[in-house]
Structure 1
Amino acid sequence: MIQFLRSSARVALLGMGLLAGTATTASAQLGIGRPVGRQIADAIIVKVDNQIVLRSDLEIAYAQQVAQAQGKPLPPDLRCKILQSIVLNKLMLAKAETDSVVVEDSQVKNELDRRMAYFVQQIGSEKKLEEYYNKPIKQLKDDLRPQVKEQLIQQKMQETIAGKVAVTPREVRQYFSRIPKDSLPYFSTEVEVGQIIKLAQVNPKAKEETIAKLNDIRARIQAGESFETLAKQYSEDPGSGAQGGYLGFFKRKELVPQYEAAALKLEPGQMSPIVESQFGFHLIQLIERKGDSYSTRHILLKPATGGSDVNEAANQLTKLRRRILADSITFAKAAKDNSDDKTSSGNGGLLANRQDGGSYLPLDKLDPAIFFTIDTMKVGSITPPLPYRTDDGKDAMRIIWLKSNTPPHQANLKDDYQKIAQAALNEKKNKALDEWFLKNRGSVYLEADPQYADCKLLDAVN
């Protein structure tokens, strides 16, 4: 395996599953169940205090690493290295438990929502994702929640241990000089792409029509019709609509404030007035309270956007594009101040590489819509406004900027400083994690299947 890519392997394993797009199948990426067609005879192979490692944990992680190698040679002890990293994860979880390190429920929910939105985008729709797993979205989230919570705790522990580690330019150069010339990787074409997105704002008339329709539904429920039946018929929330609007139990601060505030004013069985949130307009029925948790069902209607709404978004982007091309504002500043895509706006509009967090994107990994858009563009050019639909189905327009286009080349400090610096940083973080492991390995009980004795799990992870 190429050396300076290998240095980041442990950090990647520590966050396995948080970065979507690293596995060979949707099942492996999402972290629910096992890859289709893969049967693993499961058993506990390692215990770290109350934490366990299953054989399937190791084999799925191994399959992911094989897939990422894309045919390149793999070290013969790769399974041991992966298991060492998993054991380090479990040690961090065990220490987090004794040190009372926790993550907020809202953080877990946000990560679940982020990951689910990504996979809905990849597979095409919520319905297709539910059909793939034969489970509703709510059940998929419930199945995934414990794993995501563990990963966020591991991430928090890792940040505590190595979060302040940094590298200097001199250390980056020294790191690069240690890589044998015949081990330098060859990078395919990479691009930097920026975008500015403007959502089509719903006009007042569409809002009024939606509210009127929802008031009619509310009156029908008050007249005796079933909330659940009408939710199945009218709700535009694909995750809960088919379940009669049922959302299940949530704790305080897990749902958007407007929804939660309205729900908590109700008594079990009561229905709310119409509530507006960022998702649209809701009718909410409280089902039950349990401690600081509560369960509800709802009917969601989303005001439709028309051609004039989309045109207004396009007009705003056209004016913004003219200013950028006239050098009266930079693309990065325009994206930060105007883009409705908060993920990229904080990065100057640049799309992030999910693998390393950088801005350089392999051409063959681009979203097809972007690939075919930039295929004939010159570096520095910006498209006119283009139609776009967000992950949650909202109509929008966007402009796309081709910042750079780097042809295939062997790694060098000039073109690949960002990647090399990240690899050097990962190596330094790995060293800090190794030192922490050596210091804390004696504070936990560890038992491993004799089959993995040669992996030396209580040694430093290297």
Structure 2
Amino acid sequence: MNLKSINLITVLVILFTSLMATAQVTVDEKDNLLKNSDIAPEVLEATKVTEDGRIKIDGVAAVVGDYLVLESDISKAYLDMKNQQVGEITYCDVAETIMENKLFAHHAKQDSLPFNPARVESFTQQQISQFISQVGSMERLLEFYKIDTESELREQLNEINTQRMLAEEMQGSIVDEVEITPEETRDFFEAIPEDEIPLINDEVELAQIIVRPKVGEKERQAVIDKLNSYREDVLSGGSFATKAVLYSEDRGSRSSGGKITLTRDDNYVKEFKDAAFSLREGEVSNPFETEFGWHILTVDKIRGQQVDVRHILLYPEISSEAIEKAEEEIEKVRELIVDGKVSFKDAAREVSDEKETRESGGQLINNATGDRRFELTKVDPAIYGQVIDLKENEVSPVIKDTEPRTAKVFFKLITVTKKVPEHIAEFSEDYTRIRELALQQKKLKEINTWKEEKVKDTYIKINGDYKTCEFAKSWIKE
């Protein structure tokens, strides 16, 4: 099952009921009833209670170790996957997927795998920010899910994300040391029947040059002055959180008063982490610059290697003159490339404002595969429209675009450095792709072997119609 195709709102709907079923449970084998005292109140509401105060098992589809799987978990997940058009699925498919995740999470706890709660809180904050961007405000989000307070929402999301991340940690530990040799890759490829060798769709290799309008000293100083005025007001007793809500241009944290929880290992820019870990509780930083703009930051609480901070982010205004100048600059660069006076690669190294690609001559890397090739039908729709008609080594017209995070204007040139037409996979030509397929198959075998072993020594009970599912044969102990 490909649960990754479900958006975050859908995942929240699917998992809200699941998080309620995390208590250790006891099943009375004599009459197939769960003891009332073992079940959370929220689960009681979703099930039927017998006259003697016990819970009819037909409200619980399965028990896996420390976790319950409610029938409502499966029903909601099934309906949401159908709405998301996640291929052909059955209730049995959904039940198996949920039970597998519970199995992984259960054994991650049993094995005491290293687990960072700060990572959960950081991810929860990102989720809430994305939810709010979809529904409009925290108030509407709470109303949508019929939850009274933001803290209650965070607590429930943290429960959900803890279980999910435990499952990920367990799977990662199973396959961490799995590697694939060239010989195994060749054996994998040669074992594929000739009529089943995969078809590789049209692919392209891309490079780009980015030119951003330069911030003027006047605009830069205006932002610093604003942040200093906010800082002075906070030091005089004003609320940092209120100012973040009113003035911060960080859409992700603004609604929560600029609050971010992070550790030194989290993926934040160096300047931000340096500020976060150099202050004492209650201190407010001076304005500092990152690639995202200008910030002031205060530390709410220090908890060992984890800190709760609040920040205000401002972007300097870009003058119309600076925008015009950037456009003129990239037009001249394009003219030099088209006239053959400079190569695209050398121009990128000389003028591109994109640090990640500048040294490689603007070459883009596909994060999904780690190589240079992009399947044409899977590239970002915006990029697809910009490159579909380009010939190999042809340079696009100047493209005006905006940063998704800041909505600031920038300009770019794109070229197709190589086109690979649709073809039947060939070992040498498509080695990277074939190696990835072989490695994934090997990892999947390792996970399946682990699952078969753990099912034997884990308390598992499957109820009702789910006993007849094909997968249940290997889960039910005789």
Q: TM-score range by the shorter chain?
A: 0.5 to 0.7
Equivalent pairs, count? 417
Spell out the pairing of 1:243-258 with structure 2 (5 A cutoff): 243=256, 245-247=257-259, 256-258=272-274
Q: Tell me the CA shift for residue 453 of structure 1.
A: 1.7
Residue 87 of structure 1: aligned partner: 99
Distance in 2 (CA, whole Å) between partners of 1:49 and 1:332 is: 59
Pick closer, same or farther for the CA change 1:221–1:173 going to 2, 3 Å: closer
1:423 aligns with 2:428: no
Q: Tell me the CA shift for residue 329 of structure 1.
A: 7.7
Indicate the SS of the match to 1:238: coil
Q: Is the 8 A contact 1:266 1:272 kept in 2?
A: no
Distance in 1 (CA, whole Å) between partners of 2:422 and 2:83 is: 22
Distance in 1 (CA, whole Å) between partners of 2:80 and 2:345 is: 37
Q: Return 5+ residue gaps in structure 1 as ranges.
A: 1-8, 36-40, 121-125
Residue 372 of structure 1: aligned partner: 385
Q: Return 5+ residue gaps in structure 2 as ranges.
A: 16-45, 48-58, 143-149
Spell out the pairing of 1:120-199 with structure 2 (5 A cutoff): 127-131=133-137, 134-135=140-141, 144-163=157-176, 164-166=178-180, 168=182, 169-177=185-193, 181=195, 189-197=202-210
Which structure has the bigger radius of gyration?
Answer: 2
Q: Tell me the CA shift for residue 116 of structure 1.
A: 7.9
Indicate the SS of the match to 2:224: helix
Q: Is the 8 A contact 2:276 2:309 kept in 1?
A: no
Pick closer, same or farther for the CA change 1:246–1:66 going to 2, 3 Å: closer
Question: What is the identity, as a one-letter code, of the residue corresponding to 1:98?
Answer: Q
Residue 4 of structure 1: aligned partner: none
Pick closer, same or farther for the CA change 1:247–1:352 going to 2, 3 Å: same
Q: Is the 8 A contact 2:138 2:255 kept in 1?
A: no
Indicate the SS of the match to 2:413: strand
Q: Is the 8 A contact 2:211 2:326 kept in 1?
A: no
Residue 33 of structure 1: aligned partner: 13
Report which stretch shifted further, 389-398 or 249-258.
249-258
Indicate the SS of the match to 2:192: helix
Q: Is the 8 A contact 1:251 1:294 kept in 2?
A: yes
Indicate the SS of the match to 2:172: helix
1:265 aligns with 2:247: no
Q: Tell me the CA shift for residue 383 of structure 1.
A: 2.9
Distance in 1 (CA, whole Å) between partners of 2:74 and 2:441 is: 22
Residue 448 of structure 1: aligned partner: 462
Q: Is the 8 A contact 1:167 1:424 kept in 2?
A: no
Distance in 1 (CA, whole Å) between partners of 2:68 and 2:465 is: 16
Distance in 1 (CA, whole Å) between partners of 2:287 and 2:138 is: 34
1:459 aligns with 2:478: no
Distance in 2 (CA, whole Å) between partners of 1:102 and 1:131 is: 35
Pick closer, same or farther for the CA change 1:419–1:305 going to 2, 3 Å: same
Q: Tell me the CA shift for residue 284 of structure 1.
A: 4.1
Distance in 1 (CA, whole Å) between partners of 2:118 and 2:387 is: 37
Indicate the SS of the match to 1:33: helix
Aligned residues with identical type, % of pairs: 23
Distance in 1 (CA, whole Å) between partners of 2:214 and 2:300 is: 33
CA RMSD of superposed structures (Å): 5.0
Q: Tell me the CA shift for residue 114 of structure 1.
A: 7.5
Q: Is the 8 A contact 2:455 2:475 kept in 1?
A: no
Q: TM-score if structure 1 supplies the norm length? A: 0.67
Pick closer, same or farther for the CA change 1:107–1:201 going to 2, 3 Å: farther
Distance in 1 (CA, whole Å) between partners of 2:300 and 2:281 is: 9
1:216 aligns with 2:229: yes
Indicate the SS of the match to 1:400: strand
Spell out the pairing of 1:55-74 with structure 2 (5 A cutoff): 55=71, 57-59=73-75, 62=78, 74=88
Q: Tell me the CA shift for residue 101 of structure 1.
A: 1.2
Q: Tell me the CA shift for residue 377 of structure 1.
A: 0.8
Distance in 1 (CA, whole Å) between partners of 2:299 and 2:308 is: 6
Q: Tell me the CA shift for residue 49 of structure 1.
A: 1.7
1:399 aligns with 2:379: no
| Deviation sequence 1:397-431 (CA, Å, 0-9, x none) | 33323244455666676876655543333222221
Find 2:453's aligned residue among 422, 430, 439.
439
Distance in 2 (CA, whole Å) between partners of 1:319 and 1:210 is: 31
Q: Tell me the CA shift for residue 229 of structure 1.
A: 4.8
Residue 63 of structure 2: aligned partner: 47
Distance in 2 (CA, whole Å) between partners of 1:343 and 1:116 is: 31
Spell out the pairing of 1:295-310 with structure 2 (5 A cutoff): 295-306=308-319
Pick closer, same or farther for the CA change 1:292–1:175 going to 2, 3 Å: same
Distance in 1 (CA, whole Å) between partners of 2:361 and 2:180 is: 20
Q: Tell me the CA shift for residue 304 of structure 1.
A: 2.6
Indicate the SS of the match to 1:96: helix
Q: Is the 8 A contact 1:258 1:277 kept in 2?
A: no
Q: TM-score if structure 2 supplies the norm length? A: 0.66
Q: Is the 8 A contact 1:171 1:424 kept in 2?
A: no
Question: What is the identity, as a one-letter code, of the residue corresponding to 2:438?
Answer: A
Pick closer, same or farther for the CA change 1:217–1:353 going to 2, 3 Å: closer
Question: What is the identity, as a one-letter code, of the residue corresponding to 2:172?
Answer: E
Question: What is the identity, as a one-letter code, of the residue corresponding to 1:439?
Answer: E
| Deviation sequence 1:63-92 (CA, Å, 0-9, x none) | 677678777xx48xx554554444333322
| Deviation sequence 1:122-155 (CA, Å, 0-9, x none) | xxxx64454599339x988776444444444433
Spell out the pairing of 1:333-344 with structure 2 (5 A cutoff): 340=354, 342=356
Q: Is the 8 A contact 1:187 1:409 kept in 2?
A: yes
Distance in 1 (CA, whole Å) between partners of 2:299 and 2:454 is: 47
Q: Is the 8 A contact 2:297 2:311 kept in 1?
A: yes
Report which stretch shifted further, 280-289 or 396-405.
280-289
Question: What is the identity, as a one-letter code, of the residue corresponding to 2:9?
Answer: S
